[in-house]
Chain A
Amino acid sequence: MPRPKAEERTILLDARAMSRALQRMAVEILELAHGTGDLVLIGIQRRGVELAERIAKLLEKAEGAEIPRGALDITLYRDDLGAVGPNPVIGATHIPGDLTDKHAVIVDDVLYTGRTVRAALDELADFGRPKRISLCVLVDRGGRELPIQADIVGTVVKTGPGERVDVQVEELDGRDQVDVIR
């Protein structure tokens, strides 16, 4: 029996590099939003939610103001239900109040085709009319299939369709690390 080719894992960000990236992203959010006044962080299930929580805590420490945050599961807004079948695990969606006139920052772990963000934009529109929506991702791996770009990026890596970017966070995976799997 031919053995499957062994996966080759390279570390893109270790725990310290990830921590530095998140700190810089928090500062960039403050600059982009001119403070924390209307800011709402929306994490995309699942690892986006944890990253949004981290960034919110950094912002709260730096600014001393409470940052409202929410969670978004985009499963029901996907455009490929017929192709991939139902996702048995749908995460919670929780939006802190009406988003009208807020500056919503979508936080996700990896930006790839852009389809998740497209779905998230559709879903957010059902919760009000934010005055602005920005996109903040830890890893931009290229490969867009839609005209979508991030406002704030932790790190950029060029990857092909056969490759994967594996984001691990302490809360769910026991450690902070980003790997590229080839």
Chain B
Amino acid sequence: MNASPTLGKDLTGLEHMSPEQIRLILDTAEPFKEVSERPIKKVPALRGKTIVNLFFEASTRTRISFEFAEKRLSADTVNVAATGSSVSKGETLVDTARNLEAMRIDMVVIRHPSSGAAEFLGNRIASNVINAGDGKHEHPTQALLDLLTIRDKHGKIEGLKVCLVGDVLHSRVARSNLWGLTKLGAEVAVCGPWTLLPRGIEELGVKVFGRIEEAIEWADVLNVLRLQLERMEKGFIPSVREYYRVFGVTPERLERSPKAITIMHPGPMNRGVEIDSRVADGPHSVILDQVTNGVAVRMAVLYLLAGGRAELADAAKRGSGE
């Protein structure tokens, strides 16, 4: 009847989504929050759907969050990890997925170390594909739950100043956040050592701060990214202690801002490296709200993709990528 936006067959990233599609997911996530508060935390919306969680990379939070979301919608789920499956025997991604499809599945949630893996798969199988993180490319559901958490806390996203702090270069969370935040009208900045910031990021209209003090003075929200400790060995930063001294988000630094800055972190945290424990556990931290919202956002994505699947699956079978 009305021309409300739909999501299409797959969720591979926020880069090519419209602001309306992003808002549709956030609005749909709202009522799903309540489902997790019920005595019986389950609704029958996806009864009879089979979902495979295909994880080629380690993950605790994201995998469990997806699994809770699937189970609370009454879907049947199977978890496949790369180790201990035929993947370790050299089977290709497409063969693995086609074999799963031959067992009549409906959706695949995939995490993969290669950028573009989710889209690659989505173009080759009829099932819905959801990207749970692909290389350094995107992690769309993480950015969506970050957006929902910001909207909950501030009542809006438009006009807010959000700074991503730390290893932006290697972060798919940062990339998805950047797309989502700018599409919904937030001002976005990044802050970190020059070695960990992508070159030319200013051209996307993003502010760049070389010092954490400047970022704190500017921002309404700090999204503190995890410092991947293996980066140190590769020479991106001199030492973990130096990183904490120069870029660590500490109460002393936050006190200098007149605003109460909302603190976010996608996890897992390195306490005492990128974030001080007193900040992570402090009154302005919404880190655990992010985790709670993660389940609601993933329920919304699963629900929206599952509905009206038939004609989209047909399009995929005909081989039209978009």
Contacts and interface: CB of A to CB of B under 8 A. Distances in A.
B194 interface: no
Interface in A50-83: 73, 75-78, 81-82
Contacts of A77: 43-45
B42 A126 contact: yes
Given A73-B31, A92-B34, A85 B307 contact: yes
Contact of A91 (B24, B31, B303, B304): B31
B39 A128 contact: yes
Interface of B: 4-6, 24, 27-28, 30-32, 34-35, 38-40, 42-46, 73, 303-304, 306-310
Contact of B45 (A81, A89, A92, A94): A81
Interface residues of A, number: 23
A86 B304 contact: yes
A86 B308 contact: yes
Interface of A: 73, 75-78, 81-82, 84-86, 88-94, 98, 122-123, 126-128
Contacts of A88: 4-5, 24, 27-28, 304
B7 to A, nearest CB: 9
B40 to A, nearest CB: 4
Contacts of A78: 45
20 contacts: A76-B73, A78-B45, A82-B309, A85-B6, A85-B307, A86-B303, A88-B4, A88-B24, A88-B28, A90-B28, A90-B30, A90-B31, A90-B32, A92-B30, A93-B34, A122-B44, A126-B42, A127-B38, A127-B39, A128-B39
B31 A93 contact: yes
Nearest to A89: B27
A122 B45 CA distance: 12
Contacts of B24: 88
